[in-house]
Amino acid sequence: MIHTITLTRPDDWHLHLRDGDQMRAVLPYTASRFARAIIMPNLRPPIVTTDMALAYRTRILAALPPDLQSGFEPLMTLYLTDHTSPSEIIRAKESGIVHGVKLYPAGATTHSDAGVTDLARCHAALEAMQKVNLPLLVHGEVTDPAVDVFDREKVFIDRVLSPLIWHFQNLRVVFEHITTRDAVTFVKEASRQVAASITAHHLLLNRNAIFQGGIRPHHFCLPVLKRESHRQALIEAATGGNPKFFSGTDSAPHSQSNKENACGCAGIFTAHAAIELYAQVFDQANALDKLEAFVSFHGADFYQLPRNRDHITLGKENWIVSERLTFAGDSLIPFCAGEILTWKIA
Ligand code: DOR
Ligand code: ZN
């Protein structure tokens, strides 16, 4: 039985950090585990220009605690809108600090109201991204209210993603936080330009977790958890060694009061134990030998960034997750609050 595992320091290829005091509360969890993270731009107002991304990056670096000052690099993104111009895309690429452009279909999720209403309006921006080699990061769900919430990813593949990658064959696309067997199959069969991130919570839970003994707001995220057969497909994809699949936590902090609410926010906070949770999944699947590539190599290679050079060590040791964390004058209920996890950072 394996008791410790040393990995090249991992990266988080999909992270919500928020801003201000909220960011200060959550940033150390990520910066103490990961070398880099792709920072989601869905703030209010959204990060739609390179200047905004530069300023946000400066705020993140300033919020790092002294002992983590030099060890963490935020990889910034722009928020695609109907009005994103090709010149803004070129500026973003030339800045060297923007590593992707995020497509939120308008209304799909938290702070997506400024998102894209019709991808046809973004063709000039997408052409520019393809030309300057800046990846598109996709929240892959349709917003059509006639489509069942559990089918929105599958319908997105058929209606939006397939035509998109057919039209822009050299555009690099990350299908974010995939949740279905359909998405796994689609990504495997697509060209090398297409990859996918997978969260720890979609690997650990199926949709029963939303209703276990009552409604569980802390298990509500978007895309929503799916049935067990889809979770099994995600585990096979993550642990299978295919370089198209990599870690992206989608750790998304919301205050306890905004989660435990008649209209609770979507998002699961996993940054406090992100790498430990992935280790648990790979351990349960008897695939710990595949963990390093999934969390430390595949994403870096896809983003055409160097792999990290330092290491972290995890030990097989039980520990209990806090019941709640402090969060800018409110509380934050972490994933697996009060539960035992089996891997711990040394
Ligand atoms: O559950 C989610 N929370 N999904 C998203 O796409 C956005 C995120 C957030 O920002 O809270
Ligand atoms: Zn997200």
Task: Determine the pLDDT at residue 53.
Answer: 98
Task: Determine the pLDDT at residue 110.
Answer: 82
Q: Confirm whether pTM is higher than 0.95.
A: yes
Q: Give nearest CA residue, ligand 1 atom 4.
A: 222
Task: Determine the pLDDT at residue 108.
Answer: 87
Residues 6+ apart with CB under 8 A from 192: 244
Question: Is 317's pLDDT higher than 80?
Answer: yes
Neighbours of ion ligand 2 (CB under 5 A): 250
- From the CA of 174, how far away is ligand 1's center (Å)? 16
Contact of 85 with 124, CB cutoff 8 Å:
yes
Q: Which of 11, 182, 250, 283 is catalytic?
A: 250
Q: Give nearest CA residue, ligand 1 atom 3.
A: 267
Is 250 catalytic? The answer is yes
Q: Cis peptide before 306, with omega less than 30 degrees from 0?
A: no
Q: Give nearest CA residue, ligand 1 atom 10.
A: 110
Eight-state DSSP code of residue 67: G
Locate the ligand 1 atom nearest the alpha carbon of residue 254 and give its number. Answer: 11
The per-residue pLDDT for range 247-299, each reduced to its tens digit, is: 999 999 999 999 999 999 999 999 999 999 999 999 999 999 999 999 999 99
Task: Supply angle C-alpha 69, 320, 289, rounded to 5.
Answer: 70
Eight-state DSSP code of residue 226: -
Task: Determine the pLDDT at residue 206.
Answer: 98
Which one of 109, 143, 178, 254 would you pick to mutate in the ligand 1 pocket, going by the greatest count of ligand atoms within 8 A of its CB? 109
Q: pLDDT-based confidence at 70, cuts 50/70/90?
A: confident
Task: Find the distance separating the first CA and the last CA of the chain, reported in whole Å.
Answer: 18
Between strands 325-327 and 330-332, the pairing is antiparallel
Side-chain half-sphere CA neighbours of 179 within 13 A: 26
- For residue 167, CA distances in Å to 123, 194, 301 come to 10, 13, 24
The per-residue pLDDT for range 192-229, each reduced to its tens digit, is: 999 999 999 999 999 999 999 999 999 999 999 999 99
Report the pocket of ligand 1 as residue ranges, CB < 6 Å.
Answer: 16, 42, 109-110, 139, 221-222, 252, 266-267
**Ligand sitting nearest the alpha carbon of 15:** 2
Task: Determine the pLDDT at residue 2.
Answer: 73
Which one of 110, 177, 219 would you pick to mutate in the ligand 1 pocket, going by the greatest count of ligand atoms within 8 A of its CB? 110
Burial of 106 (0-12, 13-18, 19+ CB in 10 A): middle
**Ligand sitting nearest the alpha carbon of 269:** 1
Q: Among the residues of 168-205, which ranges form H helices?
A: 181-189, 200-204
**Residues of 88-100 as b/e, b for ≥16 C-beta within 10 angstroms?**
bbbbbbebebbbb
- From the CA of 318, how far away is ligand 2's center (Å)? 29
List the 73-79 sheet strands across, edge first: 12-15, 36-39, 73-79, 98-103, 136-138, 173-175, 194-198, 245-247
- For residue 171, CA distances in Å to 130, 148, 233, 299, 341 come to 4, 29, 26, 16, 39
